[in-house]
Amino acid sequence: MQELAKQQVNDFLQQLTVEKRLSVHTVNSYRRDLQQLISFCCQQAISQWADVVVADILKHIAERHRSGLSSKSLQRELSAIRSFYFYLMQSEQVANNPAQQVKAPKQARKLPKTLDVEQMNGLLDAGTNSILEIRDVAMFELFYSSGLRLGELSALNINDLDLDDKQLKVVKGKGGKSRLLPVGKYAVAALQAWLNVKPPSIETNTDPLFISTKGKRLGHRSIQLRLKQWCLKKGITEPVHPHMLRHSFATHLLEASQDLRSVQELLGHENISTTQIYTHLDFQHLSDVYDQAHPRAKKNN
């Protein structure tokens, strides 16, 4: 490119440093991203920024994507290019922004990890040796029985629970919304066992369902650590976190019912698109069954 074009980049970076007061790290990121664009323009024999068109930006981003750059990194590069062109337009050095409508390829959505039914049964088979383990099994059963979030379980009070009707009320779920959830018979039994030995809470304004040895409401980190310890006791070596129990609840329920709308309601998802990720897990399960069972799908045939 022309020396003027390179100087324009330097001027832009100087503005970010002096006027915008961005950190050195951020400015260096802009510099690296724009240097990639300069290299591309040199390869394409483009000499000035006004000559770059939308097709050039698309080609540049496609090449960067093929080189292994993630969607997140491509989004950052596009943001740097848009900001640079906005600077050029403000100073009337170019007429338009060729990167304005260009979008990075979507990031492949990671499927949540789950435990299968056999693994869940192995995890929840009691064998408790202390009051704390009785409490812990009640927590883990409730996670899997009702698909609770970590924060929702921690916030439960005893009066949110109705063991006679086998249900509980999440008073303030995500987004401040309440919902009523069924509680399975194994979870009911585990909760009853815990309530039979539960020491009194020291909290005066509420009566937390799950408390520590000091009578305080059990916090998020403590619940996570207790699940980790329980898994070690059960010989489960892979990392298991509370949300994995929620994912397992959703996946197993969807596999059995195929009722996406009901699973959405139980999980407390505002949009069904959030719940639809479990249909991918379900299809993955069906694909595995197909590969193992269909006589002309087996690789060794």
224-109-252 Cα angle (round to 5): 60
Catalytic residue, candidates 64, 217, 252, 269: 269
Active-site annotation holds for 246: yes
Are 136 and 226 within 8 A, CB to CB?
Answer: yes
Catalytic residue, candidates 64, 246, 247, 252: 246
Active-site annotation holds for 269: yes
Active-site annotation holds for 247: no
Catalytic residue, candidates 85, 87, 144, 278: 278
Catalytic residue, candidates 20, 103, 172, 174: 174
What are the Cα distances from residue 118, in Å, to 138, 287, 291?
19, 19, 20
- CA–CA distance, 291 with 243 (Å, rounded to integer): 29
Tell the burial category of 258 from Cβ atoms under 10 Å away from its Cβ (0-12, 13-18, 19+): exposed
**105: DSSP letter:** P
Tell which residue, 27, 67, 60, has the closest CA to residue 44.
Answer: 60
Rounding to the nearest 10 degrees, give the CA dihedral for residues 16, 20, 22, 27. Answer: -10
Catalytic residue, candidates 149, 179, 228, 234: 149
Catalytic residue, candidates 228, 234, 243, 285: 243
Q: Distance between alpha carbon 135 and the CA centroid of its chain, in Å?
A: 28
- Radius of gyration of the chain, Cα coordinates, nearest whole angstrom: 28
Active-site annotation holds for 149: yes
Active-site annotation holds for 214: no
Active site residues: 149, 174, 243, 246, 269, 278
